Structure 1
Amino acid sequence: MELERDTANAFINYLISHGYPKESITLEWGNKYRRVDIAILDLATNIPVAIYEIKGNKNRTSFEMGINQLKRFADDLEYPVKMGLVFRKETTPYFEYFDITDLNEMNKTDYVKEINTNQRITEPLNYNYLATTKLKEIDRQKKIKEKTIDIFKVLCHILIPIIIAIFFLLDSLEIYPITTERIIVLGILIGILLAPYYTKIQFGNFITLIKNEEKKKENDER
């Protein structure tokens, strides 16, 4: 753990010396269920634009473990962030940084091969560039969410009531009598219709949960 702490400190000092605001660098960011070693937060919105895992020795096990940790966390965020693994190094700058953001375009075996030949060693992006590009993507995702919510509202307030009204009208005209089985089928069909939109509007819930936990912690400490 001491070696990982030294690696983390070397990496943080490097980031600060390359223009990253100290207050944007947060250790152990997340909640009690899932967290990352280092998160770079956008100072305006206080949401992560990059996440990093600090590892000791560079080997297949530590590499795949780091990938899995970052991927799970990124999946919870539900928007694209910069992801990187930081390994210990005996010589200056005392760490090696590997960008794994484009992991979806490669498999783990390819990454491990490139790690062994040091092909994946890169430098962290400029903070301003990182924050700007990631926030643009986050904003795009939010707009998609807003559009999805609009469609969801139309379905809930207009289309589904019309379908239900037609259903009861057909029953009153004795064309399509209402039965328990048909009500269940109707409910299932409505659920199938709404499900894709409901999952999409969950964007940001993980971050909101973390922020609420942080506020609660601050209040408890007062």
Structure 2
Amino acid sequence: MGFFDKFRQPKRPRPRNSPTPLQPSSPPPDEVWPWPDIDRPVVQLVQRRVAFHEAGHAVVARCFGIEVMDLSIRRRVRSLGRVTPVATPAWQQVEKYGDLRRLADESPESRLRTPVDVLHPRSLFDYEESLQAELHTCLAGAVAEEMQFSSCTGGRGDWRRFHLQVSCCYGDLNGFVSGSSIALLRHRYWNSCKEILTKPENWTWVKAVAKAAVRSEHG
């Protein structure tokens, strides 16, 4: 049973000498925990928003069978929280695409300028399951935050990841997808995420994970 599943299922006795998943560790030097001025109500509200946001990512990832290695709401210079899932086949394809695009940008005359080995028209069933999981997981944090607080203040990195995933898997040979198509897909997956998280068992799971993140001594 994974770390996040313990907030969903009844606890069972752990066999002796079995590894405990996600053992807490001291924050790295570039991370801050606890948050500065955490006694201020406005800071506590922001921290709760971040906790629900990251819990949404984690729970929807687990609903699609993606293992979650870590969830953190330790503050960093450019982020307030993050979820670390196991890389899916769809995301591995995106990383390969990104590497080739960077290489092409560095060598404008290279034959790799258009990485057709990545951006060829794909079969519908090529890593389709993990693609659906990735697109849902990208948006789930913002959906959970809006469900709890009636608005969403974060998620720019999530939008970029969603756009990159769509560009790689649905784009033409240059990775282009029209803005209207992106908006349509985002609307569709947003509504699907909301339907998933609205289920009582999943929303209870989100609240439990968010609460545990806020109360953790390690963030």
Q: Same fold (TM over 0.5)?
A: no
Q: TM-score, normalised by structure 2?
A: 0.25
Q: TM-score, normalised by structure 1?
A: 0.24
Structure with bigger gyration radius: 1
Greater strand content: 1
